[in-house]
Amino acid sequence: MRILFTNEDEGTQSRLVALQSKPGWYAVTLMDLDSGEVLPCARHLQDLDSAIKLARQWANLEVSK
């Protein structure tokens, strides 16, 4: 599973992937779309809802409360 959250205005994209090595865990990373570089930040979370919320926050997309 891979979910992408793209913020075209800021040129960023957060990526959420299910970790194959740790079933039930998810990784969130952030990419700079202008340079094509993955930024040096990553988090592993065990809850999908928390991972989605973090990915939306990192992409600076509105997060509902």
pLDDT tens over the chain, length 65 residues: 999 999 999 999 999 999 999 999 999 999 999 999 999 999 999 999 999 999 999 999 876 55
Give pLDDT, residue 64: 57
What is the amino acid identity at position 6? T
Residue ranges of domains in the chain = 2-58
Give pLDDT, residue 63: 64
Within 10 Å of residue 40's Cβ, how many Cβ atoms? Answer: 7
Give pLDDT, residue 62: 75
